[in-house]
Amino acid sequence: MNNYPKIGIRPIIDGRLGGIRESLEETTMNMARSVAELYSSQLKYPDGSPVQCIIADTCIGGVKEAAACADKFEANQVGVSLSVTPCWCYGSETMDMNPLTPKAIWGFNGTERPGAVYLAATLAAHNQKGLPAFGIYGSDVQDLGDAVIPADVSDRLLRFAKAGLAVAMMRGKSYLAIGSVSMGIVGSIVDPDFFQQYLGMRNEYVDSSEVLRRIEQEIYDREEFERAIEWTRNNCREGADLNREEKIKSREEKDKDWEFVVKMTLIIRDLMTGNDKLHEIGFSEEAHGHNAIVSGFQGQRQWTDFLPNGDFSEAILNSSFDWNGLRAPYMVATENDALNGVSMLFNYLLTNTAQIFADVRTFWSPEAVKRVAGWEPTGRAKDGFIHLINSGSATLDGSGRQQLDGKPAMKPFWAISEEEAAACLDATTWYPANRDYFRGGGYSSKFLTKGEMPVTMCRLNLVRGIGPVLQIAEGWAVDLPDEVHDTLDKRTDFTWPTTWFVPRLTGSGAFRDVYSVMANWGSNHGAISYGHIGPDLISMAAMLRIPVNMHNIGEADVFRPSAWASFGMDPEGSDYRACQVYGSLYK
């Protein structure tokens, strides 16, 4: 899983020898090197290693050198292509023609040589040939040879690269469905055409009984299980049993449930990515896994009606730590909601941080809060808020007990301290599952997300006649007074984790007010990421040809391929028209 795609950098040069090319060779190659340094210093892969760049062996002044560069990129697993130039060059002779690679051009804003002219001419060539590319051009004129990358250029370069790498990292991977459709939730009706045509992914399926088979036949690393169950007993605090007396399990039954859910966790991970230890104990086929970058567990109801639920497994796998210490989170969707699993994956690949899976459960108006809790919301919560809550499967990182610049945060695993991981565990209580919902028992996590974290909620939906569409809502987690939180929280499923969410309002459309955000959300689930990453999601969606039907991002932060401007002056309408014309990336 750590064989990541690389960013290919194409230094483009005026090919006229006899004084012009020679004068530009060093400047052009240095421009490519400076971008490579920016990327390797600012961007990391999901394992924490620096992003790698491949630069063409020579500057590209014509088609022969363009072809040699393409060969080098193919041999070195380049998944994202950036062309850079300080000068005029021959556009259609030097452009990147790979139809599957996200691509951009940075045309240097200078007066000595017309880099902007090459940028415009070659973007026109991309548009005419149906190969959309992003255009990057600084707002201020620079001197030829200036090695400084201006801030506005740097922002666009990084946004393009993050989005492009996310697209490239999905390609060739799998979505693993463990079980089938959960309680009629349409997002768990896995659509293989969407995965194949839009994401370049394949679909893998196993029946839920495979988890039970591996438990009963002990097809897991037994040494790791002993370590895992000890860690769980020492770090996962069990809460009071809130079930009716006749549904309370005995201590012996509860202890067996703990062992069962820990084994489930090992097995779901092994199903996703494989485990060489299984080969050593005689299960070579099972050792391979399914090359899954994301998975979903059906659970309800056929499983949970008689077996412990998946809440513990999903919560721990989605977190950045377990009995093996700090590590990258696994993306596991509750109720096999593949579309929310993909939404989590989008966020994760852009940020390298764990994701909260939640129901978009309840809109609380200021009037309703005052009536029920006797408190008039203030601050960010003054216009009301949305209760995000699901059955104990959200990442423990979502408790907000990590810190960045002294404020609550969710960070990549390599930036998390042992103390922060312990704080997330300490903030979580594991309640015996509500056996009205989960007849087989199990354990559900309970925590409260710390407020004032900037977060972005997104959701992918499939709409007949359109295809996939993406929703994006930037906002904040907010704090409520303790007594208000208790009053509101106890009106619903108390044993599940809570995030109080306020979207940023624009005063119009779906973001006219908080109620409108709730009313326009396309499904019952959302994927919540730390940080305001809406602009990155918009750029990535354009690469995948997925229109964005709802967002609260400022116009200046919307960055799409230059071709989108040819589809009309209305940004949302042009996005829909461009995606329809170009079709899915892997059609």
335 catalytic, yes or no? yes
3-state secondary structure 317-377: HCCCEECCEECCCCCEEECCCHHHHHHHHHHHHHHCCCCEEEEEEEEECHHHHHHHHCCCC
Q: Which of 128, 230, 206, 261 is nearest to 566 (CA)?
A: 128
Q: Are 385 and 481 in contact (CB under 8 A)?
A: no
Q: Are 284 and 322 in contact (CB under 8 A)?
A: no
Q: Tell me 244's DSSP state.
A: -
Q: Tell me 195's DSSP state.
A: I
3-class DSSP assignment, residue 221: coil
Sign of the C-alpha dihedral computed for residues 129, 132, 133 and 137 taken in this order: positive
Q: Is 335 annotated as a binding residue?
A: yes
3-class DSSP assignment, residue 175: strand
In Å, what is the CA distance from 105 to each residue of 34, 118, 119, 137, 245?
A: 15, 9, 7, 9, 67
Q: Are strands 385-389 and 498-503 parallel, antiparallel or unpaired?
A: antiparallel
Bridge partner list, 462: 468
Spot the catalytic one: 311, 359, 420, 479: 359
Spot the catalytic one: 204, 314, 335, 536: 335
Bridge partner list, 529: 456
Q: Is 525 annotated as a binding residue?
A: yes
359 catalytic, yes or no? yes
Cα angle for residues 573, 137, 551 (degrees, 5° grid):
30
3-class DSSP assignment, residue 84: strand
Q: Is 387 annotated as a binding residue?
A: no
Sign of the C-alpha dihedral computed for residues 563, 567, 569 and 575 taken in this order: negative
Cα end-to-end span (Å), the chain: 25
**31-34, long-range: CB < 8 A, 24+ apart:** 31/84, 31/85, 31/86, 31/106, 31/108, 32/56, 32/84, 34/147, 34/149
Q: Supply the DSSP string of 417-472, one letter for each residue.
A: -HHHHHHHHHT-EEEEP-TTT-TT--EEEE-BPPSS-EEEEEEEEEETTTEEEEEE
Q: Are 199 and 316 in contact (CB under 8 A)?
A: no
Q: Are strands 174-178 and 202-206 parallel, antiparallel or unpaired?
A: parallel
What is the residue whose two structure tokens read 């050198």? 65
Q: Are 477 and 380 in contact (CB under 8 A)?
A: no
Q: Are strands 454-463 and 525-530 parallel, antiparallel or unpaired?
A: antiparallel
Q: Are 31 and 108 in contact (CB under 8 A)?
A: yes
The distance of Cα 395 from the centroid of its chain, to the nearest Å, equals 13
Q: Are 39 and 27 in contact (CB under 8 A)?
A: no
Rg (CA), the chain: 25
The residues that are catalytic are 335, 359
Binding residues for Mn(2+): 335, 359, 525
Binding residues: 335, 359, 525
